[in-house]
């Protein structure tokens, strides 16, 4: 069990630089974030080892000076939903009970809420210590304009602010375009989940509202937004064909998916192509899909059909056996009519026939007397009868050699 370090005084959990009472809510600037024991080893030990993960060191907004030794420490307020802030993001903090409160009601620790949405940016909301003093040039103008209410129109290379050890700002990350009634969850890197619906009058138009009625539910999971030529601060609508990876869970929407293979010529009654289907469906779309059952089976089932289509090849490999169970199997195309021979049965009868033919041939090669006149070989009639019977048997059984299931062209 990870240890909790709070100190020995009744104010354990407080910092010398901040004196807030129990239940106080205030804002602070994030200075460092603890994500592993190597980030800040001494502070990692001091603040509870693994219990400190996702914790932040912060300084009050009114205290611009900072050192990690004198900073305050706070944990996420919610245990099951964590969003570690970047350096220099502003968070709301609250002082609340900790495990030692049961021994002394005055003991507390700091906990932080999600970052304050200063720039209304899904990527980051960090702000320098002093907007006017610590940055210059175009960056200073961008921040000043934002303070005045203008959009922060940042171009490549304009920002000059520490966001973390590995967090590098990407100016192309866009927020999602919202429609009435939407609930969205957006990551910092162009990944998102939309709990939305058909919006036939939505502006700008989206790709899932050309059918159905307003309010028909849809869930869109996307990882990796597509590139656009518009300014990077303009919100973006998902595009199933251009986003890197996505999952669509639809109700009555018509999704314009560009399926790479829609050659359904093997069907007697072809299925509806993906971009015309308007019933509930789940669509997975990416550069590559892998279904891996590491300890059991992959089971695919359908009421009508399962289509496997490739623009190159379909490969099936099994370590032990491959079983296809069906009353009508066609190979080549759907019009195949030629029955497949039952190999073992046919070869057994053919072997018997060949053996009789060999015996007949041998008998015919054995003359009687030196001749002429030649004396008929008395050994000929028996092999002749046998070969005749064997051949007739094959003729009588010729239909049984044909498979009743598999047909080929």
102 domain-assigned: yes
How far CA 335 is from CA of 267, 322, 407, in Å, comes to 10, 24, 9
Q: Residue 120 and residue 233: Cα distance in Å, rounded?
A: 10
Are 198 and 209 spatial neighbours (Cβ–Cβ below 8 Å)? yes
Which pair of tokens denotes residue 214?
A: 């307003």
Q: Single out the residue of 194, 236, 200 nearest to residue 216, CA to CA.
A: 200
Give the per-residue pLDDT at 102. 84
Which residue do the tokens 């909790």 mark?
4
Farthest CA pair distance, the chain: 136
Give the per-residue pLDDT at 14. 40
Which pair of tokens denotes residue 92?
A: 């709301």
Q: Residue 108 and residue 22: Cα distance in Å, rounded?
A: 6
Give the per-residue pLDDT at 154. 54
**In the sheet where 191-197 sits, what is the strand order?**
183-186, 191-197, 217-223, 245-249, 282-285
- Which residues constitute the domain of residue 379? 339-408
383 domain-assigned: yes
Q: What is the pTM of this model?
A: 0.82
Q: Single out the residue of 36, 82, 90, 20 nearest to residue 58, CA to CA.
A: 90
Blockwise average pLDDT, block size 10, the chain, 409 residues? 40 47 90 88 84 91 69 91 94 92 87 95 88 50 53 55 90 94 97 97 95 96 92 92 98 97 95 96 98 97 96 94 90 90 86 86 70 67 81 84 78
Contacts of 336 (CB under 8 A, 6+ apart): 330, 407, 408, 409
Q: What region does 159 belong to: left with phi over 0, alpha with psi -120 to 50, or beta? A: beta
Q: Residue 173 and residue 232: Cα distance in Å, rounded?
A: 7
42 domain-assigned: yes
254 domain-assigned: no
Give the per-residue pLDDT at 9. 33
Peptide bond into 204 cis (omega under 30): yes
44 domain-assigned: yes
Of 66, 95, 115, which residue is a domain's last? 115
10 domain-assigned: no
Q: Residue 180 and residue 198: Cα distance in Å, rounded?
A: 10
Of 115, 142, 177, which residue is a domain's last? 115
Give the per-residue pLDDT at 12. 40
Q: Residue 138 and residue 157: Cα distance in Å, rounded?
A: 10
Q: Single out the residue of 284, 195, 286 nearest to residue 247, CA to CA.
A: 284
212 domain-assigned: no
Which pair of tokens denotes residue 204?
A: 């700008």
Number of domains in the chain: 2
15 domain-assigned: no
Of 95, 115, 135, which residue is a domain's last? 115
Give the per-residue pLDDT at 121. 93
């Amino acid at each position: 069990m990870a240890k909790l370090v709070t100190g020995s005084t009744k104010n354990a959990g407080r910092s010398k630089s901040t004196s807030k009472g129990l239940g106080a809510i205030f804002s602070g600037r994030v200075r460092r974030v603890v994500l592993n024991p190597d980030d800040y080893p001494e502070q990692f030990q001091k603040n509870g080892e693994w219990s400190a993960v996702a914790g932040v060191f912060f300084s009050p907004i009114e205290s611009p000076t900072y050192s990690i030794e004198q900073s305050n420490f706070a944990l996420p307020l919610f245990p099951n939903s964590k969003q570690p802030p970047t350096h220099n993001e502003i968070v709301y903090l609250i002082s609340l009970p900790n495990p030692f409160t049961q021994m002394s009601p005055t003991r507390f620790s700091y906990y932080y809420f999600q970052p304050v949405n200063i720039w209304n940016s899904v990527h980051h909301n960090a702000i320098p210590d002093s907007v006017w003093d610590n940055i210059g040039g175009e960056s200073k103008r961008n921040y000043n304009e934002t303070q005045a209410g203008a959009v922060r129109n940042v171009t490549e290379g304009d920002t000059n602010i520490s966001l973390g050890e590995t967090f590098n700002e990407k100016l192309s990350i866009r927020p999602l375009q919202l429609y009435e009634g939407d609930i969205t969850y957006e990551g910092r890197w162009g990944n998102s989940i939309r709990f939305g619906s058909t919006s036939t009058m939505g502006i700008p138009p989206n790709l899932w509202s050309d059918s159905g009625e307003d309010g028909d539910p849809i869930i869109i999971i996307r990882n990796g937004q597509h590139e656009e030529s518009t300014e990077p601060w303009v919100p973006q609508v998902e595009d199933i064909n251009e986003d890197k990876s996505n999952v669509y869970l639809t109700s009555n929407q018509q999704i314009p998916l560009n399926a790479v293979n829609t050659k359904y010529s093997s069907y007697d009654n072809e299925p509806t192509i993906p971009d015309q289907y308007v019933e509930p469906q789940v669509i997975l779309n990416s550069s590559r899909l892998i279904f891996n059952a590491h300890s059991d089976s992959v089971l695919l089932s359908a009421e009508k059909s399962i289509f496997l289509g490739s623009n190159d090849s379909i490969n099936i490999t099994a370590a032990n056996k491959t079983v296809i169970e069906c009353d009508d199997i066609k190979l080549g195309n759907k019009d195949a009519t030629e029955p497949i021979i039952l190999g073992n049965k046919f070869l057994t009868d053919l072997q018997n026939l060949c053996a009789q033919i060999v015996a007949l041939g041998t008998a015919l090669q054995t003359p009687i007397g030196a001749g002429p006149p030649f004396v008929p070989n008395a050994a000929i009639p028996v092999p002749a009868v046998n070969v005749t019977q064997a051949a007739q048997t094959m003729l009588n059984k010729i239909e049984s050699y044909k498979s009743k299931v598999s047909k080929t062209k």
